[in-house]
Amino acid sequence: MAKKQKKQKAKARLVRGFNDRLADDIRATNDMMAKIHKVFELYGFDPIETPFLEYSDALGKFLPDEDRPNAGVFSLQDEDEQWLSLRYDLTAPLARHVAQNINEINFPYRTYRQGWVFRNEKPGPGRFRQFMQFDADIVGAPNISADAEICMMMADTMEALGIKKGDYVIRVNNRKVLDGVLEAIGVIDEEQKLSVLRAIDKLDKFGIEGIKLLLGEGRKDESGDFTKGAGLNEAQSKSVIDYLNGAEQNNIDGISELENLQQLVIGAGYDENRIKIDPSCVRGLEYYTGMVYEAELLFDVTNEKGQKVQFGSVGGGGRYDGLIKRFTGQTVPATGFSIGVSRLLTALKNLGKLENNEMPAPIIVCVMDKTRISEYQKMVTELREAGIRAELYQGNPKNFGKQLQYADRRNCPAAIIAGSDEFNKGTVQIKDLIAGKEASKNIKDNKIWKSKRPGQFEVKRSEMVEKIKELPAIRVYYRGANDAAN
């Protein structure tokens, strides 16, 4: 009987590729977001928010087909049988919004937005099926100066997040130049073109030797799986490698755009350490029409298991002059950038570059006498009014040791203790749990430990809040907040 019931219990489990987020991550993410917002606002961008769900056809070419309605995107049918999809990026919904409100929008439209996006595909390391992006775009801006500004803003954003000059680089390239290379070696087949571009994109992953294999017959990976190559001949392959090594190119249009951008950013004080032209930068294949950019972290990241991980790209973007045309028929040039917030957070966390501004745990007011709950609650309120996190112990107050154990495990800076003795005297006990923890290192015997009450002292009830404020842990954290308020 008991067994049968057990079998009927629901299994607590997460959907593949989705994750719960814990307090530290949420706080760190919010902190990052605030910094990014600040930079984007400074550059004159305004926020916008669009829904998670869009009509599938509005999202572009990834329509659910009959056989695989959920390939790549999560899709479902509405009551009227129309296909809806969870957004897989923030650009397609922006294009829809702009097309829909094209007469009201004041161009050039500088806009940013953040949010969750969803992809129905196999999750990998640092890769999830729900993740957060943070985008900025300038819509209705045909000039290279818009691309230059986006690149500079990206550089500023990286630095605002605490990543130093030289620890990141914004790589820039131009699609037109890549097209010129393909043209020069006589590759006209669309599939082959894509294979060549994909191979080029993998330079940082596999190196020149790996690229040669991918341009030719193909490459076998570490698990023994074989990737078919682009099938170029020796001469074609050599031309591509020469291009990657910086050989001169003949696409005048693309080259001059890149030169123009470089001139603009250098003029504004962004040298090659920050924004660099890189022939191996490719990005979204059938999507971008001119400039493409990518933000790359240059330092090694060590993961939880102590392995070194090459982190690479944490964001990318480019010019997409065709996206809004799908809706309106008229070309609306646009350029923008997308930051992979979740990825960036992981990188910063592994690096220890997140500022240590962890929220201190609350002060715990212990319950020693159940008939005096309202008096304990009053203490909590006074602390809160002073801007100090505080809570009344809400577990079973029967066992007093449990209350301190709870406070200890939460890393609370202090506990307030008041029983009948203290109430009679008009005092409270303040127990500095951090000082006590320090003292415990030298006390082996529990009887002594108990009688000594390390870190604990008695103060007048009326001075409780002031004395709490004087605790080292409280002073350090709350000083900044109070200064800001005053």
Partner RNA sequence: GCCGCCUUAGCUCAGUUGGUUAGAGCGCUAGAAUGUGGAUCUAGAGGUCCUCCGUUCGAUUCGGAGAGGCGGUACCA
Which chain residues interact with RNA by CB under 7 A?
6-7, 16-17, 60, 62, 72-73, 88-89, 91-92, 119-125, 194-195, 198, 202, 205, 214, 219, 221-225, 227, 283-287, 368, 399-401, 404-405, 407-409, 417, 419-422, 429, 431, 433-437, 439-440, 443-446, 449-450, 453-456
Please enumerate in sequence order all residues whose Cβ is within 8 A of that of 23, keeping only pairs 6 or more positions apart, or say none. Answer: 359
Which of 136, 139, 143, 153 lies closest to 265, judged by CA?
A: 153
Question: Where do the H-state alpha helices sit in 352-457?
Answer: 373-385, 400-409, 420-425, 433-440, 446-452
In whole angstroms, the minimum distance from the beta carbon of 316 to RNA comes to 8
Which of 285, 481 has the CB closer to RNA? 285
Our CA angle for 420, 421, 425, nearest 5°, is 110
Q: What are phi and psi of 92, to 5 degrees?
A: -60, -45
Query: C-beta of 247: minimal distance to RNA in Å?
Result: 24
Angle of helix 252-267 versus helix 144-160 axis, rounded to 10: 50
Place of tokens 């996206």: 323
- Residue 61 Cβ vs RNA, minimum distance, rounded to whole Å: 8
Cβ proximity to RNA, 195 vs 342, nearer residue: 195
Residue closer to RNA by CB (options 73, 261) is 73
Which of these, 210, 211, 276, lies nearest to 239 by C-alpha position?
Answer: 211
Rounded to a whole number of angstroms, the distance between the first and last alpha carbons of the chain is 65
Structure tokens at 40: 């984007």
- The set of residues, in sequence order, having a beta carbon less than 8 Å from that of 15 and lying 6+ positions away, is 129
CB of 164 or CB of 205, closer to RNA: 205
Beta-bridge mates of residue 276? 171
Smallest gap from residue 287 Cβ to RNA (A): 4
Q: Which is nearer to RNA, 222 or 248 (CB)?
A: 222
Which three-class secondary structure state does DSSP give residue 169?
Answer: strand
Residue 370 corresponds to which tokens in the numbers above? 């159940």
Q: Please, is 17 exposed, middle or buried when counting C-beta atoms within 10 Å of its C-beta (0-12, 13-18, 19+)?
A: middle
Are 139 and 334 contacting, i.e. CB atoms less than 8 angstroms apart? yes
For residue 384, count CB atoms less than 10 angstroms from its CB and return exposed for 0-12, middle for 13-18, buried for 19 or more: middle
Which CB atom, from 185 or from 439, has the smaller least distance to RNA? 439
Tokens read off for 151: 């690149």
| 320 φ, ψ (degrees, to nearest 5) | -130, 90
Distance CA 241, CA 235 (A): 10
Question: Hey, what are 193's tokens?
Answer: 């073109």
Nearer CB in complex with RNA: 191/271: 191
CB contact set of 146 (below 8 Å; sequence gap of 6+): 108, 138, 335
Nearer to RNA, 110 or 431 (CB): 431
CA-CA distances (angstroms) from residue 26 to 22, 341, 358? 6, 12, 11
Between residues 70 and 273, which has the closer beta carbon with respect to RNA?
70
Cβ 161 to RNA, closest distance in Å?
A: 23
Which of 117, 265 has the CB closer to RNA?
117
Whose Cβ is closer to RNA: residue 107's or residue 400's? 400
Task: Please give the Cα distance from 293 to 281 (Å, whole number).
Answer: 7
Minimum separation from the CB atom of position 130 to RNA (A): 12
The distance of closest approach from Cβ of residue 96 to RNA in the complex, given in angstroms and rounded to an integer, is 13
Beta carbon of residue 414, minimum distance to RNA (angstroms, whole number): 9
